[in-house]
Homo-oligomer: A and B are copies of this chain.
């Protein structure tokens, strides 16, 4: 039996269904991300776990107990919001101690817990400050400490990093993960940022239009997306139209160029199917496992810092290639014809298009 169990959760409002048949088991201490575009229902599921929304149907069990009928203040769940939601009239220490003080814990006990929490979020000296005196990142740390102080059974994070700058976002997400590991607290993290979800999670739940597309580890989500939506939402993707020329040998034609995959194709000869290739799976130089090539003409070269992005056109089809920037690279000219190398086992088959 899992620690947090969501069974057949549905949520609909008067005119629209926002969550349909959501099933998920979360083990104790697991770090789960809900990933999806805005409006996909990920926040609604989180809010149903917290008790801010009532499911139209379905069950939510924490540690074996059904909580659907419990009010939010009876569920013992820690929640961190995108907007921090610190109490502006209380100091940092009072904010962190709020939940304990509501629970009428003795003052010395509260003081001690607050000190521990301040140390945990590395803001030991700022207990007497007011929220408005802190930076966004510091405020969100305090919000995290406040949620953890009550020793919740489950920690829910609703896009906690969206309001922060890029560098602080990366630093704080690593801290959140480290704190979560050290406390072993079961955590659900809602985000629309795929890099965030991939880097931080034990498992990712990819959602789209109210239902689950795939639940798996970050690597599996990225490398073996089970649906076309997952493939295109997580990471960048080249999608190519190919015509099956010899299904048993795995032979394909793309714009008069021939590919041979290392597997037979389940489509009859002459079918047009779609292939997907990650930009970083393509290379301008041959490597040990790159058994396939395509030729294209350079349309644009974009320098993104660590990555140099080359946009090519093979016939009518677009191909984007990423390579690490290296100062000694020979500059690539727009209009130039280049050969692109890749491994046949990196080709994702999206089926007949």
Chain A interface residues (CB < 8 Å from chain B)? 38, 165-166, 192-195, 198-199, 218-219, 222-224, 234-236, 278-281, 289, 302-307, 309, 322, 324-328, 343, 345-346
Contacts and interface: CB of A to CB of B under 8 A. Distances in A.
Contacts of A327: 223-224, 345-346
Nearest to A283: B324
Given A165-B192, A280-B324, A322-B324, A303 B346 contact: no
A299 to B, nearest CB: 12
Contact of A305 (B222, B302, B305): B222
Contacts of A165: 38, 192
A81 B13 CA distance: 36
Contacts of A328: 289, 343, 345
Given A326-B281, A328-B343, A346-B327, A305 B198 contact: yes
Nearest to A324: B280
Given A328-B345, A345-B328, A346-B327, A198 B236 contact: no
Contacts of A222: 303, 305, 325
Contacts of A195: 304-305
Contacts of A280: 306-307, 324-325
A249 to B, nearest CB: 22
Nearest to A235: B305
Contacts of A345: 327-328
A325 B166 contact: no
